[in-house]
Structure 1
Amino acid sequence: MQNMNGNSFYDTHEVEKLTTIYNRMIRLRINDTLKEFELSESNFFYVLLVCESPGVSQDELIQNIYRDHSVVTRAISKLIKDGWLEKKMSSADKRRTELYPTAKAINNYQDIFDRITVVNDESISVLSEEEIKQFEHILEKVIKSGIERERLAGRKISELF
C-alpha cells in the first residue's frame, strides 16, 4: 500500500519497523528463556532491579525506567503475589514503602541474570565490538533526543541516563 507520494509506510518508517522487529525478537526469546520461572519479559526486570537495590521505592523505580506508573504497579503487585518481591513500610518514613527481594528472588537472581545476558549477547552476536559500541551510542543518542523533546513539550519524563 502506498501513500499519495508513492511511498509505502514501511519505506518511510524503516527504522521504526526494524526496531519493532528487533524488540519483538528479544521479548519472545526472553519469554521462552524465563518460562520455567513463570517470569516474562515485562516483569523479570523488576526482580533484578530490586535484588540489586533492596529497599528501593516503587516511585524510585518509576523515575529510573521508562514505564508508566500503572504498568509498574501491576507488575510489582503480580511479583509480590507470586512470591518474588515483598513490600515493607520504611522505618525512616512511614509514608514510603520499600521493595525487597524474597528468598525466591535472591536464590534465582544469578540464573535469571545469566540467561538474560545470553539472550542479549546472542541478539548482537553478529556485530563486531566496534559495531556494538556504535549501536549503543546511536540508541542512547536517539533516546536522549526523544527525552529532550518530551521535556520541551512539557511532559513529565523518567530519567534514563
Structure 2
Amino acid sequence: MEKLTNDILREIGSLSRAIHSISDIKYKELKLQKGQFTFLTRICENPGINFIDLSNMLKVDKTTTTKVVQKLIKVGYVDKIQDETDKRGYNLFPTQKSIEVYDLIIKEENRNIEVCLDKFTESEKMVINQLVKRMSKNIETDWKNKKSKKESFK
C-alpha cells in the first residue's frame, strides 16, 4: 500500500475547513451561505472582474462560480453587468450592501490569521506566508493543466 510522504496538505486542508466552518457560522446572519464570503471579498477587491478570472483566482470551476454569484446577486451583494467590449461576457461589481459587510469579513479573516499564527515570531509569519505562496504558485500550473485536460487516474 502506498504511503503518504508528508501530511502538510492534510493539515492545510484541515485548517482551511476549520476556518471556513467558523466563518460560515458567523456569516449566516449576513445571509451568506457556505463559502460565499470568499467570492464576495474577491469581487469587492476586484470590481469589474469577470467569471473566468474569478474562477481562476479561487481555483474553482466556472459552474461553481456561476452558482455562487447567482445567489449573491439574488440577496443583493453583487451586480452583474454586461461587458461593453464582449457582449457575451459579464463583469461583477460589489453593491453597497457588500461594501458594508466587507470590513466585517476582513476583520474576521484577520482574527483567524491572529489565532492561527498565535505565538509565532514575525520572522516565522513571514516565512510561512512566503512558503505557502510558493506552494500555491507551484500547484497553479498543474491545476490549470488538469482542469483543461480533465485527466483521470492512470
TM-score, normalised to structure 2, is 0.80
Tell me the amino acid that sits aligned with residue 127 of structure 2: Q
Please list the CA deviations of residues 85-140 of structure 1 after superposition, one character each: whole Å capped at 9, or x if unmatched: 11111234322211111221122222222222212222222321111112122222
2:27 maps to 34
Q: Which runs of 5+ in 1 are unaligned?
A: none
1:120-131 correspondence to structure 2 within 5 Å: 120-131=113-124
2:137 pairs with 1:144? yes
What CA distance in whole angstroms lies between the structure 2 residues aligned with 1:108 and 1:155?
A: 32
Could you say which structure has the greater relative contact order, defined with CA pairs below 8 angstroms and 6 or more residues apart? Answer: 1
Residues 1:54 and 1:15: Cα distance change in structure 2 (over 3 Å): closer
The answer on 1:104 being equivalent to 2:104 is no
Amino acid at match of 2:60: R
Alignment match, 1:19: 12
Identity of aligned residues (%): 22
Q: Which moved more, 1:125-134 or 1:90-99?
A: 90-99
Cα-to-partner distance string for 1:43-78 (whole Å, 9 max, x where unaligned): 112212222222221122123331111111111111
Number of paired residues? 149
Is residue 29–residue 119 contact of structure 1 (8 Å, CA) maintained in 2?
Answer: no
The answer to whether structure 1 residue 56 and structure 2 residue 49 are counterparts is: yes
Alignment match, 2:152? none
Structure with bigger gyration radius: 1
CA distance in structure 1 between the partners assigned to 2:136 and 2:20 by the alignment: 19
C-alpha separation in 2, matches of 1:38 and 1:44 = 10
Whole-Å Cα distance in 2 between the matches of residues 74 and 45 of structure 1? 14
Q: Following TM superposition, where does structure 1 have runs of at least 4 consecutive aligned residues deviating by more than 3 angstroms?
A: 148-151, 153-157
Name 1:72's counterpart in structure 2: 65
Question: Secondary structure in 2 aligned to 1:34?
Answer: helix
Give TM-score scaled by structure 1 length: 0.77
Matched letter for residue 100 of structure 1: F
Pair 13,57 (structure 1): closer, same or farther in 2 beyond 3 Å: same
Please give the residue correspondences for 1:79-118 in structure 2 after superposition, counting only pairs within 5 Å. Answer: 79-118=72-111
> In structure 2, what residue type is equivalent to 1:123?
C
Relative to its length, the structure with more helix (as a share) is: 2
Query: In structure 2, how many angstroms separate the alpha carbons of the residues matched to 1:150 and 1:51?
Result: 25
